[in-house]
Amino acid sequence: MNLQPNIIDTIRSRASSGTTQNYYLYHLAPMRKKLAQLVEIMPQGVEVFYAMKANPHHAFLQAAKSGGAVGIEIASLGEAHKAIAAGFSPSQLIYTGPGKSKEELHWCVSEGVRTIHIESLVEAYRLHQICLDLNTTQDVLLRINANFDIHDAQTTFSGGSKKFGIDEEKLDDALPHILALPSLHFRGLHVYAASGVLNVDDLIQNCRLVFQMTRSIESTHPAIHCDIIDFGGGFGVDYEALGHDFDLQAYAKRLDDLIAEFSFEGRHFVLELGRYLAADCGWFCSEILDIKASRGKKQVICAGGINHFRRPAALSINHPMTIVSMHKPAIFPEQESISREPVYFGGPLCTSADKLANDVWIESAEVGDIAVFGLAGAYGLTMSNQEFLSHARPEEIVI
Ligand SMILES: Cc1ncc(COP(=O)(O)O)c(C=O)c1O
């Protein structure tokens, strides 16, 4: 993994302070660039929201705003407050996720959140009651657990038994309930298939199946018109350096063709992108505190582990990484170092699950150097086990 000079300079200048290094470094230019490109090339009717669960840091929200995102996809009241603090209005928020509490729904309805994406009939009735109490109506989408999935995605959100949405086969029973609730204004469907998809064919095939489902629902239930179709997130990034990035141009062109094929012009198509926008804006930088040779393999211990960067362990992958050398004097003469070998990287936690990377080929590394993990801007600190062992929270530095 190559680092830009501004990133290396920041890492070196911070290390010169002599304190233990363990932080996230953020640089938001890639996110702004990708948003500008999305705005420019996506077909008419496509609206890009930032899924802030990928990284709720203020700088990411501000970049989403200045970069031209239509709004923010939230999944909790805490996220809503952060989005508002970054300058978004409630009417720019869309609310998804299973298990929304009464308080969260109440806040969304009373503040005027744009759409609430219903995940079950219980949620529909709960929301209806809250609207009655507030004497108002609410625009909703219905989240569907489609009967298909994207097989080689990192994580799937539909197909099989899932906690997300209502099973596609149950729609004919469920829809009349929702349509009969006068305070819910049905606007369309939400079908989020999978996260981390690099293959455009797979995502477009998913869009085709969602369009077919839309047609079928509209013909079975003539009272329904889905003027919003939400595909969720899912655009992947090339964590494993397979050499192919997500082909945005191809996706935009093929979605445009699909919209024309189904004569779906005039509808709104929502993308809730997290990883694609945020991943390459962040690096997890952690000082190498120890290196040991253990039964044929070098174990490298960093200042932070899965408490600060859990993603590699959670998904059993290695993120791209590199070492920034600090040329610190050895603490004692026989000190181990790394020279052209595959090694294991872990953190300071007392669990063997505390893995940052395994079998990574490292040219050279010494105690005191900084291990830098790339593509860490999305689902980095936000999905880590921060409280485990009560280490200090890593700083988040924006440059
Ligand atoms: C409802 C919803 N929308 C959007 C996203 C963002 O997905 P991604 O980061 O793959 O773009 C997620 C991720 O879990 C999600 O659950």
169 touches 144 (CB < 8 A): no
Q: Whose CA is nearest to atom 14 of ligand 1?
A: 195
β strands within the chain, DSSP E: 22-26, 46-51, 71-74, 93-95, 115-118, 138-145, 155-156, 166-167, 184-190, 194-195, 228-230, 268-273, 282-294, 297-302, 321-324, 338-346, 355-365, 370-373, 395-398
Residue type, 85: A
CA 192 vs. chain centroid, Å, equals 13
Q: Whose CA is nearest to atom 16 of ligand 1?
A: 97
In the chain, the percentage of residues whose pLDDT exceeds 90 is 87
Distance CA 216, CA 228 (A): 15
Best of 60, 195, 199, 275 for a ligand 1 pocket test (most atoms within 8 Å of beta carbon): 195
How much is the average pLDDT of 125-150?
A: 92
Is the CB–ligand 1 distance for residue 51 below 6 Å?
Answer: yes
The domain limits of the chain are 5-26+280-398, 29-279
Q: Is the pLDDT of residue 151 over 70?
A: no
Query: What CATH number has the domain spanning 29-279?
Result: 3.20.20.10
Half-sphere exposure of 230 (CA within 13 A, CB side): 28
Is the CB–ligand 1 distance for residue 195 below 6 Å?
Answer: yes
253 touches 347 (CB < 8 A): no
Instruction: Write a three-state SS string for 326-367.
Output: CCCCCCCCCCCCEEEEEEEEECCCCCCCCEEEEEEEEEEECC
Q: 97-135: per-residue pLDDT in tens?
A: 999 999 999 999 999 999 999 999 999 999 999 999 999
Q: Could you give the 3-state DSSP secondary structure of residue 313?
A: helix
58 touches 44 (CB < 8 A): no
CB neighbour class for 135 (10 Å; exposed up to 12, middle 13-18, buried from 19):
exposed
Superfamily holding 5-26+280-398: Lyase, Ornithine Decarboxylase; Chain A, domain 1 (2.40.37.10)
Q: Is the pLDDT of residue 323 over 60?
A: yes
Is the CB–ligand 1 distance for residue 237 below 6 Å?
Answer: no
pLDDT score recorded for residue 150: 62
Q: Is the pLDDT of residue 154 over 70?
A: no
pLDDT score recorded for residue 340: 97
Which helix (H) or strand (E) element contains residue 311?
helix 311-315
193 touches 156 (CB < 8 A): yes
Give the strand pairing for 297-302 and 46-51: unpaired
How much is the average pLDDT of 271-285?
A: 97
Distance CA 177, CA 396 (A): 46
Q: 171-230: per-residue pLDDT in tens?
A: 999 999 999 999 999 999 999 877 889 989 989 988 999 999 999 999 998 889 999 999
What number does the ligand 1 atom closest to the CA of 234 have? 10
Give the strand pairing for 370-373 and 395-398: unpaired
Model pTM score: 0.95
Q: Is the pLDDT of residue 300 over 90?
A: yes
Catalytic positions? 350
Is the CB–ligand 1 distance for residue 22 below 6 Å?
Answer: no
Q: Is the pLDDT of residue 331 over 60?
A: yes
How much is the average pLDDT of 26-48?
A: 97
Per-residue tokens: 51: 């899924």
Distances (CA, A) of 274 to 317, 366, 387: 19, 35, 24
Beta bridge partners of 190: 143, 230
CA end-to-end span of the chain: 19
